[in-house]
Amino acid sequence: MTTPKTKRLFGTDGVRGEAGRFPLDAATMETIGASLATRLRERTGAPPLIIVGRDTRESGEWLEAALIRGALANGASCESAGVITTPGVAFLARTLGAHAGVVISASHNPYQDNGVKVFAPTGRKLDDETERLIEADIFAAQESGQSELANTLDIKSHSDELHERYLTFLEKEIGAGLSLSDQTIVVDTANGAASQLAPELFNRLGARVVAINNHPDGRNINLNCGSLHIEGLQEKVAATGATLGVAYDGDADRALFVDARGEFVDGDATLWVLAKHLHARGELNKNVVVATVMSNIGLEIALRSHDLKLVRTDVGDKYVLEELLKTGASLGGEQSGHIIFPAISLAGDGMITTLGLLRAMTEAQKPLAVLTEGFERFPQILVNVRVREKRPFAEVAAITELSETTERLLGDKGRLLLRYSGTEPLARVMIEGESQAEIERYAEDLAAVIKAELG
């Protein structure tokens, strides 16, 4: 069956789906590799060099091989970095003069899924125009019934050398002068791409490293571990008396933390600590932090107390990066732990985030629990309302009137966010405020009006 041409395959985080099914089947992966090579050659007028890496899913090897087959057949040179983090591929593409970097990963998803992320040499994700061209090539190949290419490969792989290049950058440049000899760090690598890299990095910097969930078997990536399941990390930090615990997701572009007391430290709290640290060093450009509409209002209030400003974007690190580049700000991220330092890398990097947090702790000579003081997470409620149509809320008088009333009642210690789901017929009502009971009442009232008008 032909997939409708109007359907978008590339989301804010590349192409993602169940491995073995369209668009994550071998034939489509070959088409993606072929199309990428063709588009890059058209743009540069030269045979392109593509760096490819993957996480630890059992589908990663054959998906990578299929993509490379397509790229090689269309004039590209390909170098495989093997199992490596998403930001590791972005770094290699940038520093090796490649025309693109490709990551085979579905990030925090279960092992059955996989995905494709493409980076430009700058470290930014592939531009929308090229994504649309590749999508058109995919649908054209489907209609023509294009079959897989012959299984002949000439893959250049120097993965050990490429891993060392990335680790040396992290150790010698990002971690320059940082001694962790007095730190015990529990590292949960989610049985993913950082399973070998992260423990090695922190060992090199002198830390006592306790690594957990670092034995991938192709099917245990993100399974009850990593950034989606912090409980095991909290228990291990308490059991070992560690000074810090860090959890990565499957491709290690995000990091979440546990302090020495076993308390969870999310991306908002991490931004708070890093913002104060950079501000004290005179490195927080324009006194601005960029986050998404989902960051807790507690972060906004905490930053305001230090005369710092929070600028919000739509959900997705892609939009955070766009705002960082537009405003010249030096720090941004998401509640999920995806933090971006644009002066270092345009791709979020969980290990760089960890080094930044450790540097803040070391220079302040304070534990993380002390550095997070001043940030108070406000109560939040999210209510979903099924709707028959997605009319702009501003066009519905009853919704607009109650929204304005609610915002007045919340004042500067609360926040209302109304938005539609991008994939389901749902309106989402998100409210934050000082009182859980109060925001629940406000949310129920708004949900009732939305249901009456649009349900």
Q: Where in the chain are the domains?
A: 15-157, 164-371, 380-454
**Do 15-157 and 380-454 have matching folds?**
no
Q: What percent of the chain has pLDDT over 90?
A: 88
Q: Across the chain, what does the average pLDDT equal?
A: 94
For residue 156, name the pLDDT band (cuts at 50, 70, 90). Answer: low
Yes or no: domain 15-157 corresponds to CATH 1.10.1740.10: no
pLDDT class of 316 with cuts at 50, 70, 90: confident
Average pLDDT over residues 123-148: 84
pLDDT tier for residue 290 given thresholds of 50, 70 and 90? very high
Q: Check pLDDT > 50 for residue 177.
A: yes
Domain 380-454, classified CATH 3.30.310.50, yes or no: yes
Contact (Cβ atoms closer than 8 angstroms) between residue 244 and residue 260 = yes
**Across 242-253, average pLDDT:** 98
Least confident of 125-134, 230-239, 321-330: 125-134
How much is the pLDDT for 150? 52
pLDDT band at residue 371, thresholds of 50, 70 and 90?
A: very high
Over residues 356-382, mean pLDDT: 97
- C-beta separation of 338 from 254 below 8 A: yes
Catalytic site includes residue 435: no
Q: Which of 235, 244, 266, 255 is nearest to 185 (CA)?
A: 244
Which candidate in 35, 59, 105, 107 is catalytic?
107
Q: Is 164-371 in CATH node 3.30.60.50?
A: no
411, containing H or E segment: none
The reply to whether the predicted model has a pTM over 0.85 is yes
Q: How far apart are CA 130 and CA 120, in angstroms?
A: 11
CA–CA dist 172, 357 (Å, integer): 17
Q: Range with the lowest mean pLDDT among 81-95, 129-143, 337-351, 430-444?
A: 129-143
Q: How far is CA 94 from the centre of its chain?
A: 19
Residue 126: what pLDDT? 85
Give burial (CB, 10 Å; 0-12/13-18/19+) of 125: buried
